[in-house]
Amino acid sequence: MRKILICLMSLILWVTSCSFCFGLENSNEKSISSPKIVAVLYDDSSSMHIKNNPSWAYANYAMQTFTGLLNRNDTLLLTYMSSSDSVLKSNADGVLSLFSSDRQDTVDKIRGKTESGDVTPFDGIDTVGNALASTATNDPNTQYWMVILTDGAFEKKPGDTNTETSSAEIQEKLAEYQKKKMPNGSNMKIIYMAIGDKAVLPTETQNLIVKHSSTVDIVNTLSEIADQVSGRYRLQDSDFKIKEGNKIEISSSVPLLNIRVLTQNTDAQVKSVSIKDGENLENSTVHIASPDNVSGRTKGQTLYGNISTITSKGNYIEDGKYEITFDNTIKKEDVVILYEAALETKMTITRNGKTITNPKVLREGDLLDISCKVVKMGTNKSIDLKKLPEGMYQGFSLNIDESGQNVVNTEEFTYKNYKVTKNDTTITATANLQGFAPLTKSVQFAPKSPVVYDIKAQDGDLQLSLGKIRNCKESCNFIVTGDGQPLSKSEIETLIDDDSIRITHGGEETGIAYDYSIGKNGVIKVTPTTSWLNHAVLGTFTIPRGQYDVKVSLNKKLSAEDHFQVNFYSSREILWRIILLILFLIALRLTVFTKHFPSGKLERYEYRIDSSGKPNIPTRVKGPIKIGYFTDFFGPLYRTGPRKKTFDKDRKIVLTAKGQRRFDLDVKTEFNTGAETITPDTAHKLLERYMRLKAMKAAPGLLSKKDPTVVKMKKDKETFVDQSIGTTKLVENYKFK
């Protein structure tokens, strides 16, 4: 009984340090769990050892166990009631100086600390409470724990039993620390462990765990506390079996952060651990033992044991079957095995679509979306709870408490549009897996008062001409503040949208639009602009002159206005637009009304050749002639319908293609025949080939390359060879100028 009592007594101290996650002590120790700051008020008064009371030895042994089980990234603050005005810190000189580097050394020094006092000072609670509150951290997930271990009542005046505190006074004192915010904004958790019949008990409340045990029910009491606050699952005897005298086989359906093995009153130590068909796991051990004999005290049963911590080389141990081998035979009653699941509940809180990483920024009136999931610890990889062994997943709950009153209780993993009130708020998500401690994630915050926003226009004298609106370099500026301080860009973005800004003229929107940017120091810059068509052509008609109003609204409730003036084009802008118009008309003439002869069938044309063999300009062109698309403003470019026309030698022969645009062909009136005179028939053929060649050069594709009448042209001169005319030599001498 005494052996089990001490083992469980050490567990209660230990579990406070591992209610979330733990790592290893060896040189390869690593932790992906949240750190903890644990302050212990340790009763070393004379009542712990007078009248043959061995509690002093059991408490010392439990303190060793507690220290040996803490993680390297945790902080231990130890206060003895015999010197309640001082705190031994794990990061300070003294008994805990080697806390991180040599845990065994620290355990040994605690075992050797056997001095005692005669008092249980009430202000010892203040010592450990203030020590916690003064230990700062920037990690919002760090947990703060106060552990009080005593066997009697506190004294307001140390040594004066007439000043012993009542239950109500202890309750009031602890309530002060329950409400007190820690440096990271969380509230501390308190375990009040009372031993014996003379202990004075406060009432258990939220974040205050109160347990009282006598010699008879100490086992059940400590087991109950261990189950309540432990981050590990304590295997029952039926969960493992001894093989070959020195081996234990266990299994897990989920990945584990670590496995702790506590052995009691046996020299057997963990020798090796392996996953079936997998890696060999790492192991480190701390030895614990009862303190040495002290004259005049009853030591009780001599206790000794080992604490072994088993981890993987990676972040966690994969699920599967594990075999633990000891260096000596082992009995079930000598072993306690604890699992810590490498799982955690992850909670994401968003406001206006943005994730909140520090709940201290939350304010009354904020609308929050809360989403939760169970992930492998240290990752964002979700666990499919439906794929866990049947019956293992026991459900999920999401609770929101305001000033201790529950306002939301749902089994859904998401909760939308929670409106923050002015009350202190705790959001708690809990996933329950059979055989493991609840996977709990809690966020606490004290909402700030709503921000008092303000927006003001920085009055300017913005004057714009019609020609400067599109490429405007100036802007109307507005400064936005919250509680009198300029807001950041991200804060302003949550207050405005595309409908928050309007530019109007006489209350009506015009062709003037806007661009806006958010600069430093809470400044919104609204820059007028317009389309290129309004800028280049239509602005004269679509953009009224005069005063324009720029209105910027925040949350559609608060607004400010600025103004700018639009004037007509400046003289320089008018001149520039006239030049552009002239260039445009020239380009139009050169593109739309230039010679085009798209693919099509060439209409017939007529011309006359006199008896000398020289061609004359045709005097008649038959068929529809379309030269242009405009009116007589363009003179001879526009003609329609069959008509008779006499051309002089400087004019053009007009050709058309059916359904296509017009084509003009310049023809020289002089035809060189060289020294010889050709017949009119030959001249007719040559001129026809010439005209066809010119048409083909102006509009490729008009004449098919397979057309037998196509002539060939050399690159160096306009010599036209017609294979259909007698001799080649004759043709080569005929040139067209």
- CATH code: domain of residue 501: 2.60.40.10
552 and 624 belong to one structural domain: no
| Per-residue confidence band for 231, with pLDDT thresholds at 50, 70 and 90 | low
Compare 110 and 170 and report the one with higher pLDDT. 170
Q: Of 373-382, 425-434, 476-485, 721-730, which gets the smallest average pLDDT? A: 721-730
What is the C-alpha to C-alpha distance for residues 294 and 115, in angstroms, rounded to an integer? 9
**pLDDT band per the 50, 70, 90 thresholds, residue 214:** low
Q: Give the model's confidence band at 680: pLDDT under 50 very low, under 70 low, under 90 confident, else very high.
A: very low
Identify the pLDDT of residue 400. 96
Asked whether residue 195 falls in the same domain as residue 119, the answer is yes
Q: Which helix (H) or strand (E) holds 544?
A: none
Asked whether 574 and 540 are in contact (CB, 8 A), the reply is no
Average of pLDDT values for 314-341? Answer: 87
Q: Which of 261, 284, 310 marks a domain boundary?
A: 261
Residue 558: pLDDT over 50:
yes
Q: Is the pLDDT of residue 652 over 70?
A: no
How high does pLDDT run on average in the chain?
A: 72
Amino acid at the residue 368: L
Specify the DSSP class assigned to residue 66: H
> Which token pair is 87?
């705190």
134 burial class (0-12, 13-18, 19+ CB within 10 angstroms)?
Answer: exposed
> Per DSSP, which regions of 53-128 are E strands?
75-80, 88-89
Q: What is the mean pLDDT of residues 414-428?
A: 95
- Output the pLDDT for position 534: 64
CA distance 676 to 44: 142
Domain shared by 393 and 526, yes or no: no
Q: Residue 152: inside a domain, yes or no?
A: yes
- Does the residue 510 lie in any domain? yes
> What was the pLDDT predicted at 735?
35
Query: Could you tell me the pLDDT band of residue 556, with boundaries at 50, 70 and 90?
Result: confident
* Residue-level pLDDT at 371: 96
In a domain, 40, yes or no: yes
Q: Given pLDDT bands bounded at 50, 70 and 90, which one contains residue 508? A: confident
**Does residue 219 lie in a domain region?**
yes
* Whether the predicted pLDDT of 646 surpasses 50: no
Band of pLDDT at residue 229, cut at 50, 70 and 90: very low
* Distance, CA of 14 to CA of 29 (rounded, Å): 18
| In a shared domain, residues 552 and 689 | no
| Residue 284 lies inside a defined structural domain of this protein | no
What is the DSSP code string of 332-393? GGGEEEEEEESEEEEEEEEETTEE-S-GGG-BTT-EEEEEEEEEETTS-PBP-GGGSPTTTE
The beta strand positions in 657-735, using DSSP E, are 662-665, 712-713, 720-721
530-545 pLDDT tens trace: 876 666 556 566 678 8
596 within some domain: no
The domain that holds 366 is classified in CATH as 2.60.40.1930
- The answer to whether residues 529 and 469 touch, using CB atoms and an 8 Å cutoff, is yes
Q: Which of 391, 420, 389 is nearest to 407 (CA)?
A: 420
What's the pLDDT at 113?
80
Q: Residue range 483-510: average pLDDT?
A: 86
Tokens of 150: 């005593």
For residue 236, how far is the Cα from the chain centroid? Answer: 42
Map residue 641 onto helix, strand or coil.
coil
Task: Say yes or no: 197 and 79 in one domain.
Answer: yes
Chain-centroid distance of CA 736 in Å reads 79
**Could you tell me if residue 424 is inside a domain?**
yes
**Which residues lie below 8 Å from residue 172, measured CB to CB, with a gap of 6+?**
none
**461 and 411 belong to one structural domain:** no
> Residues 178, 209: contact at Cβ < 8 Å?
no
Q: Which residue has the higher pLDDT, 680 or 500?
A: 500
Model confidence pLDDT, tens digit, residues 278-309: 778 888 888 888 888 877 677 767 778 888 88
372, two tokens: 């939760």
Query: CA 501, 505, 508, 510 torsion: positive or negative?
Result: negative
Which of 418, 445, 472 marks a domain boundary? 445
Mean of the pLDDT values across residues 258-263? 85
- Residue-range definition of the domain harbouring residue 64: 2-261
The answer to whether position 586 is within a domain reads no
pLDDT per position as a tens digit, 82-91: 776 666 655 4
Q: Is there a single domain that holds both residue 386 and residue 475?
A: no
**Same domain assignment for residues 617 and 702:** yes
Are 640 and 684 in the same domain?
yes
Total domains present in the chain: 4
What pLDDT, in 10s, does the model give residues 432-459? 887 776 788 989 899 999 888 899 998 7
Report the C-alpha gap between 543 and 386 in whole angstroms.
64
Cα–Cα distances (Å) from 263 to 7, 23, 223, 247, 611, in that order, read 9, 19, 17, 13, 134
Domain end point (choices 567, 593, 618): 567
The CA-based angle 617-619-622, given to 5 degrees, is: 115
Where residue 577 falls (left for φ over 0; alpha for ψ -120 to 50; beta otherwise) is: alpha
Asked if the model's pLDDT at residue 326 lies above 90, the reply is yes
- Residue 640 shares a structural domain with residue 563: no
Predicted pLDDT of residue 420: 96
Mean pLDDT over 177-204 rounds to 84
Decide if pLDDT at 20 tops 60. Answer: no
- Contact assessment for residue 40 and residue 76, using Cβ atoms and an 8 Å cutoff: yes
Q: Give the rounded percent of residues in the chain with a pLDDT score beyond 90.
A: 15
Would you state the pLDDT for residue 651?
Answer: 32
CA–CA separation, 217 vs 191, rounded Å? Answer: 18
66 vs 74: CA distance, rounded Å:
12
Q: Are residues 394 and 477 in the same domain?
A: no
Q: Is the pLDDT of residue 422 over 90?
A: yes
Model confidence band, residue 593 (pLDDT cutoffs 50, 70, 90): low
pTM of the shown model = 0.52
Q: Could you tell me if 132 and 9 lie in one domain?
A: yes
Mean pLDDT, residues 380-396 taken together: 84
Does 12 score more than 70 pLDDT?
no
Tell me: pLDDT of 362 over 90: yes
Query: Which residues touch 523 (CB under 8 Å, ≥6 apart)?
Result: 458, 477, 478, 479, 480, 486
